[in-house]
Amino acid sequence: MPSPLPPGSSPVPSPPKPTGQFASLWRLRRYAQPYRGKLVVMFAVALASTLIGVAVPLLTSTVINGPLRTGDRDALWLLGLYALLFGLAEAVLILTRRLTLASSVLGIERDIRDDLYEHLQHLDVGFHDSWQSGQLVSRMTSDISSIRRFFGFALIFLVVNSITFVSVGVLLIAIDPLLGGIVVLFGVPLSIVVFRYEKVYRRNIRAVQDQQGEVATDVEESALGIRAIKSFGRRDLFFSRYDDKAVHLRTLQLRQIRTLAQIWAWIIAQPQTVLALLTLFGVAATASGKLSLGTLVAFVALYQMLIWPIESSGWLLAASQEANTAAERIFEVLDTQPTIVEPDAVRPSTGAGRLEFENVGFSYPGSDELLLTGINLVIEPGETLAVVGPTGCGKTTLTSLVPRLYDVTEGRVLLDGVDVRELSLADLRTRVACAFEDPTLFSASVRENLALGRPDADEEQVAEALRVAQAQYVHDLPWGLDTRVGEQGMSLSGGQRQRLALARAVLGRPTMLVLDDPLSALDIHTEGLVEQALRSVLSETTGLVVAHRPSTVLLADRVAVLGPAPGGGTTVVAEGTHHELLETNAVYRDLLSQSSELAELADLTDLAEEAVR
């Protein structure tokens, strides 16, 4: 069942997708619009350069038929000066084209990459759960690079070559209709062959690009999981898995190369065959006096101007198809509409922090079965609720509904009486801070990781957050708070990462604090210190704590026990204080006894009660 939209909002319609052979490339035109002035200059310069190139063979014909035949040296010098000026002008035009091309094409590449990255940030967690990160990285890097190469080279030469074909073709027919007809006649079978192989090559390219994403995913996972791979001695297993995909990629690439080689064989053979026929018939016409030597030289020179455009058509075809499939892959992401969006009408929120789950049900995208069903819970301002339950019952998912990492499938989550889907995302996620069991740190300084959600935090607030999380170890790092923690924070231990993530959550004392077993990696001594400091924080804020360890339960005022619902899924099967549930609920006792810490919990409970007295 799909997630309901916020009240008063409507689905975001997907833009109509054009169809056709290069439809995805055509959709990129909006990225070229800001640079249309430079592109017009670039095409104008390319046209002028082509016309100059066409004028040179005509000038050569004039030299042969005039000064060389008559011996007029003065005219020869003048024509030689014209040839020099043509060459200089062509060089200047090529320089202008390349400089204009670089600035416009790099701008287009940057704009596409920025849009794609920004859109990935807007897409909900469900999208990222279902996509391999390597596929997204491949689209962000190699696919966008393919589009840049198309705009930077293939597109300009497609235009230049088209102009060259038209202008030179008209001149050839005008110079000699018979020889010109041979050129046109032999161009027909080449066009048929290219069209035939084009569709095959397009499928080859798409298969290669998709497989590159698979290989990139394996490389990324192996790099991030290198500690697990080494500790289990599974290097050979992971290399074998990677090698299978790499070998398959090589097979696909060889198939692509074979298809392109067949196209190139036809493209290379055709102009050479035509040149041989032109030379044969042209020499015969010159020998019979029907064609002057200068005209024949000019005709052959003009035709040779077509050889490179003909031969390069294979590469241009490959680059165009590669860019088109790259655009298809990019638009697959850009066309995906986020399911978690800003409401049409934002409602104001208060700062009290009352949280309510009202008949909440949830199922993951693509699943028809509810993971959570009929969840009804209320957490008053300043109160802390612990959620316990068997592994996989949906405790973490329940906490993810509060900051709208996912949206409910049924019911509502209310913050101070307002549906969280009616609050602005920025406001909601400022008021709700989260710390997860598996903390995510970024390749940045400790300070940047710590102040991720509170960039305006002052030094006093930072010091207080570090004290609460018992994370003062950061001052002993080589550069203190300015020390970079490395990718995924792997330069820190698991407990250090978890404490830094907890400090990030409590920084600034948010209205609502969601903790998903954030102390699981801590030793008993450190855990006790953190829990003692956390009590002071939780006494001033609303807390929702997922408890996997019995000692974490003591942080809460009340406990909700999740278990199987009669119709399937998970629901709240018991609710009360720790003492009430421990005495009256067998499920709760079983859950705690499974941790083998029941005796420890009893001791901790007595100590906590004594501390309170």
For residue 92, the domain's CATH number is 1.20.1560.10
Q: What is the pLDDT of residue 101?
A: 74
Co-location of 278 and 409 in the same domain: no
Q: pLDDT-based confidence at 62, cuts 50/70/90?
A: low
Q: Residues in the chain, how many?
A: 613
Picking from 75-89, 96-110, 208-222, which range would have the lowest pLDDT averaged per residue? 75-89
Range in 46-60, 122-136, 208-222, 370-384 the model is least confident about: 46-60
- pLDDT-based confidence at residue 77 (cuts at 50, 70, 90): low
Shortest CA distance to 70 belongs to which of 82, 62, 78?
Answer: 62
Is pLDDT above 70 for 449? yes
Residues 313 and 415 in one domain: no
Looking at the fold, whether 38 and 85 belong to one and the same domain comes out as: yes
In terms of domains, do 401 and 504 share one?
A: yes
Q: Which two tokens stand for residue 4?
A: 């309901």
Asked if residue 262 and residue 388 are part of one domain, the reply reads no
How far does CA 422 lie from the centroid of its chain? 28
Give the pTM: 0.74
Q: Tell me, what's the pLDDT at 400?
A: 92
- Look at residue 2 in the predicted model and tell me its pLDDT: 37
Q: Are 245 and 365 found together in one domain?
A: no
Question: Over 70: is that where the pLDDT of 592 sits?
Answer: yes
Domain assignment present for 484: yes
Mean pLDDT over 551-574 rounds to 90
Q: Which of 302, 334, 366 is the last residue of a domain?
A: 334
What are the backbone dihedrals phi and psi of residue 432, each rounded to the nearest 5 degrees, phi first?
Answer: -110, 120
Residue 39 lies in a domain: yes
Give the neighbor-by-neighbor strand order of the sheet with 570-576.
Answer: 418-419, 410-415, 355-362, 372-379, 570-576, 558-564, 384-388, 542-546, 512-516, 432-435
Instruction: Report the percent of the chain where pLDDT is more than 70.
Output: 86
| 57-61, 287-291, 484-488, 555-559: which is most confident | 555-559
Same domain, residue pair 232 and 314? yes
Q: Within 13 Å, how many C-alpha atoms sit on residue 324's CB side? A: 23
**Band of pLDDT at residue 453, cut at 50, 70 and 90:** confident
Rounded to whole angstroms, the Cα distance separating 326 from 46 reads: 26
User: pLDDT class for 80, splitting at 50, 70, 90?
Assistant: low
Among 598, 119, 565, CA closest to 359:
565
Q: For every residue of 396-462, which 3-state class applies, written as one string?
A: HHHHHCCCCCCCCCEEEEEECCEEHHHCCHHHHHHHEEEECCCCCCCCCEHHHHHCCCCCCCCHHHH
Determine the pLDDT at residue 13. Answer: 37
C-alpha to C-alpha distance for 354 and 365, rounded to whole angstroms: 28
What is the rounded CA–CA span in Å between residue 47 and residue 49? 5
Weakest mean pLDDT among 34-38, 411-415, 589-593: 589-593
Which pLDDT tens digit goes with each residue over 366-423? 788 899 999 999 999 989 999 999 988 999 999 999 999 999 999 999 999 999 999 9
- Which residue would you say has higher pLDDT here, 184 or 386? 386
Lowest mean pLDDT among 66-75, 113-122, 376-385, 578-587: 66-75
Q: Of 334, 365, 380, which residue is a domain's last?
A: 334
Model pLDDT, residue 104: 84
Residue 605 pLDDT grade (very low, low, confident, very high; cuts 50, 70, 90): low
Same domain, 236 and 381: no
| Number of alpha carbons in the 13 Å side-chain half-sphere of residue 474 | 29
Give the integer Cα–Cα distance in Å for 469 and 467. 5
Assign residue 528 the CATH number of its domain. Answer: 3.40.50.300
The amino acid at residue 78 is L
Number of neighbours of residue 541 by Cβ within 10 angstroms: 19
Query: Are 482 and 367 found together in one domain?
Result: yes
Q: Which of 194-198, 323-327, 518-522 has the highest mean pLDDT?
A: 323-327
Residues 607 and 498 in one domain: yes
User: How many domains would you assign to the chain?
Assistant: 2
Residue 419: give the domain boundaries: 355-612
> Is pLDDT of 227 > 70?
no
Mean pLDDT, the chain, rounded, equals: 80
Whether residue 346 is contained in a domain is answered as: no
Residues contacting residue 423 through CB under 8 Å, at least 6 positions apart:
343, 346, 347, 349, 415
Q: Compute the average pLDDT of residues 82-105.
A: 76
Task: Based on the fold, state whether residues 266 and 411 are members of the same structural domain.
Answer: no
More confident residue, 8 or 142: 142
Q: According to the per-residue pLDDT averaged within each range, which of 152-161, 403-412, 428-437, 584-593 is highest?
A: 403-412
Looking at the fold, whether 324 and 398 belong to one and the same domain comes out as no
Weakest mean pLDDT among 115-119, 223-227, 254-258: 223-227
Look at strands 432-435 and 512-516 and give their pairing: parallel
Residue 166 has pLDDT above 90, yes or no: no
User: Which of the residue ranges 71-85, 230-244, 518-532 has the most confident prediction, judged by mean pLDDT?
Assistant: 230-244
125-129 LR contacts (CB < 8 Å, sep 24+): 125/400, 125/405, 125/406, 126/339, 126/364, 126/365, 126/406, 127/336, 127/338, 129/364
pLDDT at 562 > cutoff 60: yes
**3-state SS, residue 277:** helix
Give residue 598's pLDDT. Answer: 44
pLDDT score recorded for residue 12: 35
DSSP string, 174-205: HH-HHHHHHHHHHHHHHHHHHHHHHHHHHHHH
9 within some domain: no
* 3: in domain: no
Q: Residue 341 domain-assigned?
A: no
Q: What contacts 365, CB < 8 A, 6 or more positions away?
A: 126, 130, 339
Residue 501 maps to a domain: yes
Q: For residue 325, how many C-alpha atoms fall within 13 Å in the half-sphere facing its CB?
A: 20
Dump pLDDT digits (tens) for 2-28.
Answer: 333 333 333 333 444 545 567 888 899
Q: Which of 569, 566, 572 is nearest to 587 (CA)?
A: 572
Residue 1 forms part of a structural domain: no
What mean pLDDT comes out for the span 37-48?
80
**Do 306 and 165 contact (CB within 8 A), yes or no?**
yes
Please give the pLDDT value at position 3.
38
